[in-house]
A = this chain, B = another copy of it.
Amino acid sequence: MTITHATGYAVTDPKDYLNFQLKKYELEPLADDRVTVAVEVCGVCGSDHHTLSGGWGPWVTDFIVSGHEVIGKVVEVGSKVTEFKVGQRVGVGAQVASCMKCKACLNDNENYCKLKTDGYNTKWWAYDNHDHQGGYSTHLRAMEKFVFAIPEELKSEDAASMLCGGLTVYSPLVRNGTGPGKKVGVVGLGGLGHYAVLFGVALGAEVTVFSRSDAKKADALAMGAKRFIATTAGFEQDLEKEFDLIIVTASSSKLPLDELLSTLNIDKKLVFVGLPDEGLSNLTSQTLSSNGAALASSHLGNKGEANDMLKLAAEKGVKPWINVIPMKDAAKAIKAVEDSSVRYRTILVQDIEPLP
């Protein structure tokens, strides 16, 4: 008998975004290429706060069950699913579907499909426009393509936040050649930044963390960073043409962008994975022309990158810095994101009794 409904911690009003109430709702159909996952743990991402509170704009769905860093068990598979079996432990990240037909999808860039279905507050745009809800819940569905096998060596609570937070930085790291002999700068040490350090180091690069103050210096070095630089006046002076890549995980528009760009070697990229809402008004092309620098952005990663990342994490023992709490305490986790007190990711553990 196909599962038809899930129960999740739902927010029903962006003005009351810390008010999670259990709610039962209909799942999207189990199409032949989809997998149903019973949620075991779910990470809490900065996106959850931005979306629930309306900071990223009006809601797409009437209510939101957030959460897009899920580890769980396969409980159903569609008729054409070949990669997964019922009972298998799997992960689902911040995307659950794409059109599978566009230039991006046909070239292993399904994470850039214009009709992608995100982890929540979204619809199956390329299909029946059914609402999709996320992982602060008992169950969710995703296309097989967006489900990942989890290596045995990884604990569920460690693997969960890799599927958004980890992949978001892993993809630009590997697409820009991070490895032994390369120097990577990481700007901002939050959930994403901490993964950029961990995976940068795991890939063999020398990592430098930039932060506004020295407050997180000890953490950065403990994560494996070689250097920690507080971005006070003149910080860039000894770093001319130093880095092969800079990943910006901070979302402030007050970044010292000119100074950071000046620390890039020739023809290298500064990649934003945080999103300053206010734009980059201080940027000029003269800023970029002194070293041929490029300013770029990046969105998640593709399936191959997700699988490679999980394999690397298993091989190198990459262990995120997480707090594990019951799912009913989701509001506390959102608050910790909001006031930047989380060190460095919260993982919610399943505790829902499904509503009848």
Contacts and interface: CB of A to CB of B under 8 A. Distances in A.
A289 B109 CA distance: 13
Interface in A270-313: 272, 274-277, 279-299
A175 B267 contact: yes
A107 B288 CA distance: 19
A25 interface: no
A294 B296 contact: yes
A194 to B, nearest CB: 20
Given A109-B266, A279-B282, A289 B299 contact: yes
Contact of A112 (B102, B175, B290): B290
Contacts of A316: none
Interface in A237-258: 240-241
Contact of A288 (B175, B291, B296): B296
Contact of A296 (B265, B282, B293): B293
Interface string A73-112: 0000000000000000000000000000011100101001
Interface residues of A, number: 40
A269 B114 CA distance: 19
A305 to B, nearest CB: 12
B279 A283 contact: yes
Nearest to A286: B275
A105 to B, nearest CB: 11
A280 B285 contact: yes
Contact of A289 (B104, B267, B272): B272
Given A109-B266, A240-B114, A292 B285 contact: no
Given A241-B104, A296-B295, A297-B289, A276 B284 contact: yes
A50 B197 CA distance: 44
Contacts of A295: 288, 294-296
A279 to B, nearest CB: 5
A297 B285 contact: yes
A269 B294 contact: yes
Given A112-B291, A272-B289, A289-B272, A103 B241 contact: yes
Contacts of A269: 294
Contacts of A276: 284-285
A296 B271 CA distance: 12
B294 A299 contact: no
Contacts of A298: 289, 292
A237 to B, nearest CB: 12
A281 B102 CA distance: 31
A287 B269 CA distance: 16
Q: Which 10 A-B pairs have the closest CB atoms?
A: A294-B296, A288-B297, A289-B297, A294-B294, A272-B285, A281-B281, A109-B266, A285-B297, A279-B284, A289-B299
Interface of A: 102-104, 107, 109, 112, 114, 175, 240-241, 265-267, 269, 272, 274-277, 279-299
16 contacts: A102-B241, A109-B266, A109-B292, A112-B290, A114-B240, A269-B294, A274-B285, A275-B285, A275-B289, A279-B283, A280-B283, A289-B298, A289-B299, A292-B297, A293-B297, A294-B295
Given A109-B266, A114-B290, A275-B285, 14 more contacts: A103-B240, A103-B241, A109-B292, A112-B292, A114-B240, A274-B285, A275-B284, A280-B283, A280-B284, A283-B283, A286-B297, A287-B297, A289-B299, A295-B295
